[in-house]
């Protein structure tokens, strides 16, 4: 029935088919979050599940032409994700323990990638192209779910600072590794006999070029943001520059991730303007929802449960499950030995790897680029594995991150840990009086915490209010002019 309707819409009004499809994706994605919220699953999982349910292998509600036409969403979503991550690259913070973070990140990313590569290439005897790209994708960590968990718990301290810096740097490492892996994979598939310098150095040089270009865009963004610039125009300018940068990267056939990180890093360090990030964080959810739902629409259920030509007799489901556990083991072991090498505290050493388990946004975006670059076969198989494992990671990842924050004592649910009772000279308070004092202290902090949680919304609302006041002022000026002319 719906296929006939879409066919008629496609003939009479192609725009209507696209608009209705987008409306369905947004609405059903929201509805699914209401269901996953009951079992405390993150929104990313809900969006991917929505895409699978309404995709071609279940209800088939979205036409294939619309799915193929939304391929550009991967670049735009990556741009917003990367720009938000760059906020945490503050030079003042990196100076304190930048080298330690670099060592930890290098070891945990390297361990995860190498372990996955050894498993797929030597143990499962899969192709070099497949194994090396999947190994590179294993390095990526999802910043969104971990940052959300930190905000929800109000965690702070040395463990949180180290974790945020490792996650931010982790995605830089994964992007460089992915770029090199894609080049090696393409050479392997095409049978091109390139030298080692060309295979490894050229992708690195291209990413260095994108990194420098992103820094120039960050300076340009700062130049376009004088103090008198209204909040709504700030949002328009920042989004337009992000889109322009994505377009340039698409022309160069490189990922916008590293350049967008560079853009936001330069901007935050020369301006200290956190408000722009809050506005973009409040603006981006519909775009990210569409991207994750579209990723779910591309999910290949038929190849997941059967051996494809690229995996031989091994089913993609088996590869996905083994990848899931191998990456966790590599992340934890690499983080542990990295912390041991740079002599961090025991809490950071024991629990950092546990907080690096989530994997979604960046990996899914890179997998979508991989499917577009490598095409049917290896590309789609890799995207299927990443999507399937990301659902599992997002189910257990936030819980593991929260457990790591709790065990590292970055936050606590005990009144004794989050409150202090001042001692009165010569007066001993009873346990009941001390409890009342602690409860009052928590109550006094509640409005402040609520205000922090709505910072993104406040920034966006302020922009709308500012625009309304300007329109109101303009309307009054026009009426005043008419009144003077009439006299």
> What pLDDT score does 367 carry?
83
| Calpha distance 343→354 (Å, rounded) | 18
Q: Does domain 73-407 have CATH number 3.40.50.11540?
A: no
Distance between terminal CA atoms of the chain? Answer: 66
Higher pLDDT, 461 or 144: 144
> What pLDDT score does 160 carry?
84
> What pLDDT score does 312 carry?
62
Confidence of residue 40 (pLDDT cuts 50, 70, 90): confident
DSSP H or E stretch at residue 411:
none
Residue 195 tokens read as 């030298």
Give which of 108, 117, 119 is closest to 141, Cα–Cα. 108
Say which DSSP state 427 is in: B
Q: Which are the contacts of 329, defined by CB distance < 8 A and separation ≥ 6?
A: 115
pLDDT exceeds cutoff 80 at 163: yes
pLDDT, mean of residues 50-63: 86
Q: Which are the contacts of 190, defined by CB distance < 8 A and separation ≥ 6?
A: none
Of 19-23, 84-88, 336-340, the range with the lowest mean pLDDT is: 84-88
Q: Where are the domains of the chain?
A: 2-69, 73-407, 431-486
pLDDT exceeds cutoff 60 at 45: yes
> What pLDDT score does 436 carry?
65
User: How many other CB atoms sit within 10 Å of the CB of residue 12?
Assistant: 9
414 CA to centre of own chain: 31
Query: 465-482, pLDDT tens digit by residue?
Result: 555 555 555 555 555 555
Which range has the top average pLDDT, 6-15, 211-220, 448-457?
Answer: 211-220
| Calpha distance 4→82 (Å, rounded) | 40
Buried b (16+ CB within 10 A) or exposed e, 424-460: eeeeeeeeeeeeeebeeeeeeeeeeeeeeeebbeebb
pLDDT exceeds cutoff 60 at 70: yes
| Calpha distance 66→22 (Å, rounded) | 9
CA distances from 5 to 12, 19, 54, 217, 228 (A): 11, 14, 16, 45, 50
Q: Is the dihedral of CA 426, 429, 433, 436 positive or negative?
A: positive
Buried b (16+ CB within 10 A) or exposed e, 320-351: bebbbebbbebbbbbbbbbbeebebeebbbbb
Of 259-268, 301-310, 353-362, the range with the lowest mean pLDDT is: 301-310
Mean pLDDT of the chain: 77
Higher pLDDT, 95 or 195: 95
> What pLDDT score does 449 carry?
46
């Amino acid at each position: 029935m719906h296929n006939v309707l879409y066919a008629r819409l496609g003939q009479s009004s192609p725009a209507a088919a696209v608009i209705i499809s987008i409306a369905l994706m947004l609405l059903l994605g929201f509805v699914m979050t209401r269901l996953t919220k009951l079992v405390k699953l993150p929104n990313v999982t809900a969006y991917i599940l929505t895409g699978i349910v309404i995709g071609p292998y279940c209800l088939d509600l979205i036409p294939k032409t619309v799915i193929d036409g939304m391929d550009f969403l991967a670049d735009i979503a990556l741009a917003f994700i990367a720009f938000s991550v760059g906020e945490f690259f503050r030079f003042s913070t990196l100076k304190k323990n930048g080298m330690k973070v670099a060592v930890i990140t290098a070891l945990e990313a390297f361990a995860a990638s190498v372990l996955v590569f050894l498993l797929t290439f030597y143990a499962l005897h899969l192709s070099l192209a497949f194994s090396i790209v999947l190994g590179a994708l294993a390095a990526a960590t999802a910043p969104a779910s971990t940052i959300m968990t930190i905000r929800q718990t109000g965690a702070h301290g040395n463990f949180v600072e180290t974790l945020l810096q490792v996650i931010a740097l982790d995605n830089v490492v994964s992007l460089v590794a992915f770029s090199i892996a894609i080049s090696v994979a393409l050479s392997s598939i095409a049978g091109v006999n390139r030298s080692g310098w060309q295979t490894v150095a050229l992708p690195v040089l291209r990413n260095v070029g994108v990194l420098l270009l992103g820094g120039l865009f960050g300076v340009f963004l700062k130049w376009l943001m004088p103090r008198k610039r209204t909040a709504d125009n700030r949002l328009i300018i920042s989004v337009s520059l992000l889109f322009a940068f994505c377009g340039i990267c698409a022309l160069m056939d490189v990922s916008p991730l590293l350049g967008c990180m560079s853009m936001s890093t330069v901007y935050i360090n020369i301006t200290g303007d956190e408000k722009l990030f809050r506005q973009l964080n409040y603006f981006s959810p519909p775009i990210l929802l569409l991207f994750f739902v579209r990723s779910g629409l591309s999910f290949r259920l038929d190849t997941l449960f059967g051996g494809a030509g690229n995996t031989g007799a091994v089913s993609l489901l088996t590869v996905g499950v083994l990848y899931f556990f191998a990456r966790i083991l590599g992340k934890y072991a690499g983080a542990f030995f990295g912390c041991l090498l740079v002599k961090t505290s025991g809490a950071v050493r024991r629990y950092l790897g546990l907080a690096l388990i989530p994997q979604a946004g960046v990996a899914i975006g890179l997998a979508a680029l991989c499917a577009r670059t490598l095409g049917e076969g290896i590309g789609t198989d890799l995207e299927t594995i990443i999507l399937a494992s990301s659902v599992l990671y997002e189910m257990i990842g936030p819980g593991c991150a929260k457990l790591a924050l709790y065990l590292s004592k970055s936050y606590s649910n005990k009144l004794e840990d989050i409150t202090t009772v001042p001692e009165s000279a010569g007066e001993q308070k009873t346990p009941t009086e001390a409890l009342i004092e602690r409860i009052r202290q928590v109550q006094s902090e509640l409005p402040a915490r609520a205000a922090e949680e709505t910072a993104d919304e406040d920034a966006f609302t302020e922009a709308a209010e500012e625009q309304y006041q300007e329109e109101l002022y303009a309307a009054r000026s026009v009426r005043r002019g008419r009144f003077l002319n009439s006299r």
